[in-house]
Chain A
Amino acid sequence: MATGYVVRENRYYDSVFLMQVAKRISNETGVDEAAALMGTLNNKQLLADIGFEDPSIRAATPSDLVIAIRAADQDTVERILVNVERWLARPEMVAGRRAVRTLDQALESQPQTNLVVISVPGTYAPRETRQALERGRNVFLFSSNVSVEDELRLKQLAHERGLILMGPDCGTAIIGGRGIGFANVVRSGPIGAIGAAGTGLQEFTSLVHQLGSGVSHAIGTGGRDLSDSVGGLTTLDALSQFEADPSTKVIALVSKPPGPATLAQLREILSRASKPVVACFLGLESNVDVQIGSLHLARTIDEAAEIATRLATGADPKVSSLGPTNAEHRLEAERVKLGREQKFVRGVFAGGTLCYQAQQVMRDLGLAVSSNAPLAGMAALDDPNDSRGHTLVDMGDDLFTRSRPHPMIDATLRNERILKEASDPEASVLLLDFVLGYNASSDPVGDMLGAINEAKSIAEDDGRHLSVVASICGTDDDPQDRKSQIELLESAGILVFPSNAQAAQLAGLLVSGLTA
């Protein structure tokens, strides 16, 4: 052990600062003990008590700084004390803003806030939402498990205050070209979209982009908004806003069918609409007449995008340009590979609305489909983990997301399900969706390719061919590089379509024996 001392005359330092100096020195390798104190009588006694005694210390006055160290050897002592000034220089302050902990703190630091994005657990969501609305801010509410009573009360509060509450269970919005939540990079344009479910809005806006048009804003309303319990409060406010918004020329609405009372209200408003409105009410029976003034009714999201684009550009809305080339050819080429025992389509979906739309497509082809989130008139699965007959599973359902992140982010559960389906000799076609955009996985196809290939192997080992049909929801501007995602799928022998409706159509045709 060696000791060393330095006395700096007439140098005053704050005692707390000196404690920090001592700590930093004692952290150096080889240093056993360090002290940095002003030369007061008490401090000199304290130093003596811990074995630091020296004439230089004894001579120090209260306005002198004493630095004393005890170290493993003399070299260390000299190394530490050779340039004492560096220990006394104020250390680089770590610029770190401690986290903001409450909404009020956040609003105080950013008073021009106009939107509060809430994704806290459902139990707490109503309280936080109410606070945001009372603070005069719009809300994007991603959280689910909010009661319908709370939803109604909160939407009434929002409406009274001229604010919008997007949600609950709202996954997507695009405001002024900025995506909120799970959203795609979509060109700005004249179409104003209102959507009652995340992937429905994602699909619609992506298709609009693919068709060459763009979106002014896309407002999510949450899945229950158009039910009669809520009365479409968010939808109606969004509609009147789009009516007044100069950058919106065409309005599009994608949702499940509204409740009858809400439909009546919608009818009333749309009959006075000055702008063309396109509506896609997924799940509607094909023979139901919902003609309302100049409202254009679309049967699929694809059709809604096509009609909206044509209306926006002024061209005839009947011609479709999203159709896949050589669909007939692909259908026949795939069909010949399937065995007679293989009868059923198995859909494993990340997007809830996409699963729903796919069921409608299948129903219109005359197929009876089961699901854990069934279309009106379709059967509910007894056990969501167990496919029976034609089955389309929404893996984003609460049941699955309780234990894992949403399938748009984490493919684990979908991969497991795919392998399970592959082991069923009656499975014929696997129908999958891949969703791109902000907050989705950075490589949705890559995440599942291993499992898909393994699924095909399982079938092959058993003497079967497993068809895999997929759609990609997204645009070429999305972070995930849509083109290479498509290539990845195609090189694995998967039939890829630019829309969910088309993919579902092909899968349905494969198992129904019908022609394209």
Chain B
Amino acid sequence: MAEDIKKAIETANSEAVARIIAADPVLVDVAPASEAIAGLEDRMVLHAGPPVGWEQMSGAQKGATIGAILFEGWAKDREEAVALVERGSIRFEPNHHHAAVGPMAGTITASMWVFVVENREFGNRACCRQVEGRQQFGEYSPEALADLFKWRDVWAPSIRAGLQQLGGLELKPIITRALQMGDELHNRPVAASSLFANRMAVPMIQAGVPQDSLIATLRYLTGHELFFLGLSMAAAKASVDPARGIEHSTVVTAMARNGTEFGIQVSGLGGEWFTAPAPEIVGLYLPGYRQGDAGRDIGDSAITETVGWGGFVLGGAPSILSFVGGSPEEALSYSEEMREITVTTSPDYLIPALGYQGTGVGIDIRKVVRTNILPIIDTAMAHKDPGHPIIGAGLVRAPMECFKKALVRFGEMVKEPQT
């Protein structure tokens, strides 16, 4: 009987990783969130991480919320925005509950244009908002919001036009090449961003995008190293979602943080969140900031680690290792560590610096708890107070408590299986 459950888990996990590996993410559209995201209602703010209420939100999350409210024009200044929230006029829901993800505070509201990625293998879609360095870190001044308007009015529509000209853009070839060019697709996606810009330039021209918009958009794309993070996040989400809900699977389907809590979801445990206090980040600070300024871990961007990119392939992106003064050997050992807690490795996403070994696929909560090896995530840092842009970047580990809680729930579930 005991062996039966182990076999059932192994079979379920094989199915889960087979689905993730089979994913074929294609960028099919860039569209306003109100169009693209089901269930996004008026006065609703979607956010990163597991559910959280205004009172519990971190400084950066609150600042980003205020920024989103001002962007939408639901209030005219900070005081009005806060009043709106405090009298309950704003609803908060996790991005993940709407097949979406967002970096840092991850705030998505109706007028924000989002990437729409379709997993052609299974037909499911996932959305992600664009990456920028100010509002999603908690800044809400007019200067901070300026780029949100440019994205909405100029850059996103231009990219949409080019995309429609192309008939959709396959992301797997870009991701595969970028990983081989030293990207890890989380904090170092510069190669992928360049490849994307390369692919989009001519289609945008062919689509007849007006010259000033074209120039502005190309300037934006070619100057924005982190651009592709929005796409890798959407691609990761679209890749892992078909692996949700496989009975007896212990594979992690989401890792996400809201600045207050870190949460995971597990394939065989449905939509339940298993949370723990969000950890502190160890890293490097931008000029003007120092130890003690940082808020806790925040963002849906850990979806990249969930499918084996980002921190899981640090060995292939040694420049990121500077975060903790590490050596190439340490980078390699991080990647080896991560293979101890995943079900298998990808046959497609290969890392030259790791001897062309594949990225680890399918974090198994049993292995995490057994080995005490926690998933490693490289991440940007937000300030602990609202009103600041990006302040630095570093490394963080997912908290053990999340995995223990999930394992205990899994144990309860197999003792009394649902009929």
Contacts and interface: CB of A to CB of B under 8 A. Distances in A.
A33 B288 contact: yes
Given A14-B319, A101-B373, A105-B340, A19 B333 contact: no
Given A96-B330, A101-B340, A101-B371, A46 B286 contact: yes
Interface in B308-330: 319-320, 322-323, 325, 327-330
A82 interface: no
Interface string B188-199: 100000000000
B287 A33 contact: yes
B56 to A, nearest CB: 31
A15 B225 contact: yes
Given A16-B323, A17-B322, A93 B371 contact: no
Interface in B281-336: 284-288, 319-320, 322-323, 325, 327-330, 333-334, 336
Given A102-B371, A102-B373, A50 B287 contact: yes
B327 A19 contact: no
Given A40-B223, A93-B328, A98-B334, A35 B319 contact: no
Interface string A1-30: 000000000000011110110110000000
Nearest to B226: A15
B319 A17 contact: yes
B157 interface: no
A97 B322 contact: no
A101 B286 CA distance: 33
A104 B370 CA distance: 12
Most chain A beta-carbon neighbours within 10 Å: one of B320, B328, B330, B334: B330
Contact of B284 (A19, A35, A91, A108): A19
Report the contact-size class of chain A (Cβ under 8 Å from the partner): 20 to 34
Contacts of A40: 223
A402 B33 CA distance: 63
A492 B182 CA distance: 69
B287 A37 contact: yes
Given A47-B287, A95-B329, A16 B319 contact: yes
Contacts of B225: 15
Contacts of A95: 327, 329
A149 interface: no
A52 B223 CA distance: 23
A108 B285 CA distance: 37
A49 interface: yes
A101 B337 contact: yes
B287 A46 contact: yes
Nearest to B318: A93
A333 interface: no
B419 interface: no
A422 B225 CA distance: 78
Contacts of A33: 287-288
Contact of A49 (B288, B322, B333, B340): B288
A89 interface: no
A13 to B, nearest CB: 10
A219 to B, nearest CB: 31
Nearest to B288: A50
A312 interface: no
Interface in B327-373: 327-330, 333-334, 336-337, 340, 371-373
A95 B285 CA distance: 25
Contact of A94 (B285, B288, B327, B336): B327
Contacts of A22: 284, 287
Interface string A107-130: 010000000000000000000000
A486 interface: no
A23 B287 contact: no
B163 interface: no
A346 B413 CA distance: 59
Interface string B371-404: 1110000000000000000001100000000000
Contacts of B392: 19
A52 B286 CA distance: 14
A147 B42 CA distance: 64
A392 interface: no
A96 B320 contact: no
Interface string B211-231: 000000000000101000000
Contact of B329 (A15, A20, A62, A98): A98
A285 B225 CA distance: 84
Contact of B287 (A16, A34, A91, A93): A34
A54 to B, nearest CB: 15
A393 to B, nearest CB: 39
Contact of A104 (B327, B330, B340, B372): B340
B330 A23 contact: no
A96 B327 CA distance: 7
A94 B326 CA distance: 7
A16 B393 contact: yes
Contacts of A14: 319
Given A16-B188, A96-B330, A105 B322 contact: no
A96 B287 contact: no
A364 to B, nearest CB: 51
Interface string B75-96: 0000000000000000000000
A462 B336 CA distance: 67
A62 B330 CA distance: 32
A15 B225 CA distance: 10
Nearest to A127: B370
A220 B323 CA distance: 48
Given A93-B328, A105-B336, A46 B319 contact: no
A282 to B, nearest CB: 41
A118 to B, nearest CB: 16
Given A19-B322, A23-B284, A46-B288, A98 B371 contact: no
Given A101-B340, A104-B340, A20 B325 contact: yes
A94 B284 CA distance: 18
Interface in A303-327: none
B283 to A, nearest CB: 9
Given A16-B188, A19-B393, A98 B330 contact: yes
Nearest to B317: A16
Given A16-B322, A40-B223, A101-B337, A35 B287 contact: yes
Interface in A37-58: 37, 40, 46-47, 49-50, 52
Nearest to B187: A16
A446 B103 CA distance: 64
Contacts of A108: 336
Contacts of A62: 223
Nearest to A91: B325
Contacts of B371: 101-102
Given A101-B372, A105-B340, A93 B327 contact: yes
Interface in A83-97: 91, 93-97
A102 B340 contact: yes
A17 B340 CA distance: 29
Most chain A beta-carbon neighbours within 10 Å: one of B188, B334, B337: B337
A97 B286 contact: no
Given A16-B323, A49-B288, A98-B337, 20 more contacts: A14-B319, A16-B188, A16-B319, A16-B320, A19-B286, A20-B322, A22-B284, A23-B284, A37-B287, A40-B223, A46-B288, A91-B325, A93-B328, A97-B329, A97-B330, A97-B333, A101-B340, A101-B371, A102-B371, A105-B336
17 contacts: A14-B319, A16-B320, A19-B285, A19-B322, A20-B322, A20-B325, A33-B287, A34-B287, A35-B287, A46-B286, A62-B223, A93-B329, A94-B327, A101-B340, A101-B371, A101-B372, A101-B373
Interface of B: 187-188, 223, 225, 284-288, 319-320, 322-323, 325, 327-330, 333-334, 336-337, 340, 371-373, 392-393
5 shortest A-B CB distances, which residue pairs?
A: A35-B287, A98-B333, A93-B327, A20-B322, A19-B284
Interface of A: 14-17, 19-20, 22-23, 33-35, 37, 40, 46-47, 49-50, 52, 62, 68, 91, 93-98, 101-102, 104-105, 108
